[in-house]
Structure 1
Amino acid sequence: MTMRTTRQRLLEEGLALLLRHGYNDLGIQALLDATGIPKGSFYHHFRSKEDFALQVVDHYMAEVHAGLDACLGDRSRAPLERVRDFFELSREKYRREGYMGCLLGGLGQELSGVSEAFRYKIEWCFSEIAGRIAVSLEEARQCGDLPAETDVHHLAGLLLDCWEGAALRSRLRRDPAPLEAMLDFYFRAAVS
């Protein structure tokens, strides 16, 4: 069993708290109480609440990239199946967390109008995800699973936009149905 560092414990608990409460309602004291970590240790690892939340986004993105690696790297599956697998993996993660949705979408909605740092960071994260998906969509286009004239970058961005909307609806309902319906619709339309 590996020991989690103080920083890892704070980031993991911070991720859960940010999903549940958002940035504005995240109290540093609540985080410290949940982890049993003293305040001085928090400020040893993070300059401020904003620095902490931006590092939580980095931690979240490491998880997202691990999911992308696992799904998109599975060469035993067709490219479109690999892309769908990633979103189904995400849907399962949302289920385990109580359909709290995507951290990026939640923070983006809450903070993009008031914080340039978060707006740029979250847009960059979405661009990274869409770029990774576009590579697999290009593979699908090359092997004839998508029409030759398909703009894979546009299609990847559209998929991510639709997913984020469905994730919001799923969070509101605490139900996976919007995610499932969106994936079914998108992948039927993409291959037509």
Structure 2
Amino acid sequence: MKKHHSETRQHILDVARTLMTHRGYTSVGLAEVVAAASVPKGSFYHYFKSKEEFGQALLEQYFSDYLATVDTLLMGTAPAAQRLLSYFQYWAHTQCSDLPTDKCLVVKLGAEVCDLSEGMRQVLDQGTQAIHAKLERCIEQGLVDGSITSAVPSATLAQSLYQVWLGASLMMKIGKRETAFETSLILAKRLLS
């Protein structure tokens, strides 16, 4: 019974992620989510107390998956600068993809939900801080292995790089031009050296 419970809950989150990646949080109603997930509306409240709790769970799941991917991309024996640039190339590739599961929910939902829900804002903040920490750790490894020579403090550099790439993702959405990522990659290379 417990396995079925967690599978159904996960299915609802997966279906909702696709819907919300396309249209955002506020424009997708619960009726649409449960219809697309093929679960009775009443059972939604068995898994989530409110749409806000559901939104928090959606973002928590997103960050859990994304942070695991970041770990995979930033680990290895290659020089740290190369691993960081591979991460940014992955980011550009996924944001240019047509797959909704590839899209960054921080870009898609961040501005929309931060004013609606303190709980969702906190999940976004915790998730982005975790990404910063992983980038900072890789930058510090690069300072040790000599592949990164920047004099900018690791924490500042990690936050700056992440912010540049968030901005590039937003500009990609606005202009539908991949050049935002090309210029961000050039800037990342310069910031690391």
Q: Name the CA distance, whole Å, in 1 between partners of 2:24 and 2:183.
A: 26
Gaps of 5+ in 2: none
- For structure 1, the residue ranges without an aligned partner over 5 or more in a row are none
Change (3 A) 1:79 1:166: same
Map 1:46-125; keep pairs closer than 5 Å: 46-75=48-77, 77-94=78-95, 95-97=97-99, 101-125=103-127
CA drift of 1:15 comes to 1.1
Which of 123-132 and 176-185 deviates more? 176-185
The Cα RMSD (Å) is 2.1
Query: In 2, distance between residues paired with 1:37 and 1:83?
Result: 41
Paired residues in the alignment total: 188
Shift of 1:106: 2.5
What percent identity do the matched residue pairs reach? 26
Deviations 1:125-160 (A, max 9, x none): 111001011000001111222237431110000011
Contact 2:52/2:117 (<8 A) preserved: no
Shift of the alpha carbon at 1:100? 8.2
Q: 1:67–1:86: 8 Å Cα contact kept in structure 2? A: no
Moved segments of 4+, more than 6 Å: none
Q: CA deviation at 1:64?
A: 0.9
The corresponding residue for 1:141 is 143
Q: Give per-residue Cα distances to partners, 1:65-102, cap 9 Å, x unaligned.
A: 12112111122x21111112222223322213269842
> 156-165 vs 137-146, which deviates more?
137-146
Amino acid in the other structure paired with 1:80: A
Does the aligned pair in 2 maintain the 1:130–1:160 contact within 8 Å? yes
For 1:7, which of 6, 9, 14 is the aligned residue? 9
TM-score, scaled to structure 1 = 0.88
Asked if 2 retains the 8 angstrom alpha-carbon contact of 1:167 and 1:179, the reply is: yes
Tell me how far apart the structure 2 counterparts of residues 100 and 177 of structure 1 sit (CA, whole Å). Answer: 19
Per-residue deviation, residues 93-121 of structure 1 (Å, max 9, x unmatched): 22132698420132221122343222222
